[in-house]
Structure 1
Amino acid sequence: MKTLLVPVASHDALPSVFETAILTARRFGSLIEGVSLRPALAEYVPVDMVGGMTWLRDEEADKVEAERAGRQFIDFMTRAGLPLAAEGPCNPEALAAGPRYRWRADVPAGDGFLGQHARLFTATVVGRPGTEDGAPRMTTFETALFESGRPILLAPPIAPATLGEAILIAWNGSTETARAVAFAMPFLRQAKRIRVISVEGGTVPGPTAEELARALACEGIGADFRAHSAGRRTPGEVYLAEAETFGCDLLIKGAYTQSRLRQMIFGGPTSHLLAHAAIPMLMAH
């Protein structure tokens, strides 16, 4: 987790996104790069469905928005005591410098850049999306998740106090969750407590929670496991209840083992966690 990308957009969870990135950077001595995230100029909003009139985003307003995002990011990092990263490549001296930040100003508008640029980073830190006013956009999460090939660290609406001390792995036997566990190995190697849980009816053909715990032991990582029987609660509800009982401050899960369309219609664990989780989550697809 040596490099973290933080897309900066105007939403209520932005302080939590910054704090989640800082907690991670302090744990691993990471470089945090901030970039402005805003709609592309080609995106428009129809205001007259009869006449077909549209308003294009103003280029000057777009520039002002990007500058404001940069000030927010730099001010937060400065108040947190993080130094500005030195110019140049990440040589051994830079890597030994500990947590630090930089702001990239020359960033085009639109989500397309985010999905491509995120491929250069160990993880991308975004806010947990929501439907209410002021919540982070779902498109930001999904672009980073599906286009980057890297894991997503989801910040909860309220900034966490700790991160990665007690980890819960929501195991369903899938390739998506296996990737999430692989990406999470830096966290797992430093965690004080780890629990692997599965829920009957919420798994696909694959290894069991007990088998994953044994595999982690072969990596020198201690973890206990719980296999929950089917009940009246959904897998997503069980995951969050177990996370609270365990005192979890990081939940690891594969995203969208079921298709997005199916989850939109019928619901699913990923959709439930995206709607209700109050703890940081590391996800991968």
Structure 2
Amino acid sequence: MPPIHRRDQAMPLRTLLVHGDADSQMPVRMSLATDVARRHHAKLLVIFALQGRSAAFLYAQHAPADVVSRQIRAERLRAARIGARLADRAARAGIGLAWRAIEGRPDTVLAQQAAAADMLVLSQDSDDAASPLVAPVTLAAGKPVLCVPRGGPFASCGRRVLLAWNGSREAARAAHDARPFLRQAERVILFTADDETSAGTSAEDAASHLAADGISVEIQRAPLNRRDPGQAILGAASDHGVDLVVMGAYGHSRLREWAFGGATRTVLRSMAVPTLLSY
């Protein structure tokens, strides 16, 4: 039976680490992270991964040294401008924000810096992403990841929560990591597929444990009927109008690259609301 963590081990949210970049989804994930930080009295840490120097090694033979040097300086300057702008906006909103620019691949940098935060905030990978972030960061960081769907914005996150439950260690970890959200939620649905539950903790025992921490949950069951468990989770989230899905992440290392298992991959490919992943 996978352990369900003691209530005094559930830590509050104090620091949210946000992936800093100049991509089109940066305003969406910053908006959501700011809203979560405000509700939980947390601060924000924005991490920019600088790849200019590593790119210089790849293209040094094809580009003059002064061109490469200018690209590196421009990347640092861009991160500094974005970081300063974000810090100013956060200060006006009464939220503490610090930012750092660190050289390295984004997945490596974010996973390494996760030790300085309670949760990471990343955007959903695009279908054609050359270097996906969510899988390698979630499976290597050792901290929960709040994945924000592309598009947005989102009016709320964590008021109506669907907790996907199959009795596994990963599900128990997700329930533990989501405690700050579950305690503030107006409604928590513990969703389980009768033919998917493992030999671990039952939905009733999980609900009883959460109730001991003052978290009231509704148990909802649905048969898979040969559906992918991920599709069942997506359907339940839509049916109940939730604004946050919480689930355990399942993954493995393949050819030195981290990859998600089927249900997790299905949810993240078609997600419509923010999803909290724990591994």
What TM-score do the two structures reach when normalised by structure 2?
0.82
1:21 aligned onto 2:14: no
Cα RMSD, aligned residues only? 2.9
Deviation for aligned residue 1:58:
2.7
1:110 aligned onto 2:105: yes
**1:58 maps to what in 2?**
68
**1:184 maps to what in 2?**
178
State the AA in 2 paired with 1:23: D
SS of 1:58's equivalent? helix
Distance in 1 of aligned mates of 2:272 and 2:31: 14
Distance in 2 of aligned mates of 1:266 and 1:119: 22
Distance in 2 of aligned mates of 1:205 and 1:22: 39
State the AA in 2 paired with 1:39: Q
Distance in 2 of aligned mates of 1:266 and 1:32: 27
Aligned equivalent of 2:267, options 264, 273, 282: 273
**2:115 maps to what in 1?**
119
Distance in 2 of aligned mates of 1:203 and 1:159: 34
Q: How does 1:12-161 map to 2 (within 5 A)?
A: 12-39=24-51, 41-42=53-54, 58-76=68-86, 78-79=88-89, 82-83=90-91, 99-105=95-101, 107-111=102-106, 112-132=108-128, 137-138=131-132, 140-157=133-150, 158-161=152-155
For residues 147-186 of structure 1, the C-alpha deviation after alignment (integer angstroms, 9 at most, x for no partner) is 3211111111122110110010011211112111111111
Deviation for aligned residue 1:146:
2.7
Distance in 2 of aligned mates of 1:110 and 1:63: 17
1:222 aligned onto 2:232: no
State the AA in 2 paired with 1:145: T
Deviation for aligned residue 1:5:
1.0
For residues 231-276 of structure 1, the C-alpha deviation after alignment (integer angstroms, 9 at most, x for no partner) is 14321111111111211111111111x5465xx9996110011101
Structure 2: gaps of 5 or more residues: 1-12
**CA 241–42 in structure 1, closer or farther in 2 if over 3 Å, else same:** same
| Percent of residue pairs identical | 30
**CA 170–137 in structure 1, closer or farther in 2 if over 3 Å, else same:** farther
**CA 31–10 in structure 1, closer or farther in 2 if over 3 Å, else same:** same
Q: Is the 8 A contact 1:4 1:33 kept in 2?
A: yes
For residues 161-218 of structure 1, the C-alpha deviation after alignment (integer angstroms, 9 at most, x for no partner) is 1011001001121111211111111111111100011124434321122221121111
1:3 aligned onto 2:15: yes
State the AA in 1 paired with 2:74: V
**CA 222–25 in structure 1, closer or farther in 2 if over 3 Å, else same:** same
Q: How does 1:209-248 map to 2 (within 5 A)?
A: 209-248=203-242
Distance in 2 of aligned mates of 1:224 and 1:197: 8
Deviation for aligned residue 1:143:
3.7
SS of 1:37's equivalent? strand
Deviation for aligned residue 1:13:
1.9
State the AA in 2 paired with 1:141: V
**CA 44–22 in structure 1, closer or farther in 2 if over 3 Å, else same:** same
Distance in 1 of aligned mates of 2:175 and 2:233: 16
1:173 aligned onto 2:180: no
Distance in 2 of aligned mates of 1:36 and 1:162: 26
Q: Is the 8 A contact 2:87 2:98 kept in 1?
A: no
Structure 1: gaps of 5 or more residues: 48-52, 85-96
Q: Is the 8 A contact 1:36 1:70 kept in 2?
A: no
SS of 1:150's equivalent? coil
**CA 27–225 in structure 1, closer or farther in 2 if over 3 Å, else same:** same
Segment drifting more, 269-278 vs 31-40? 31-40
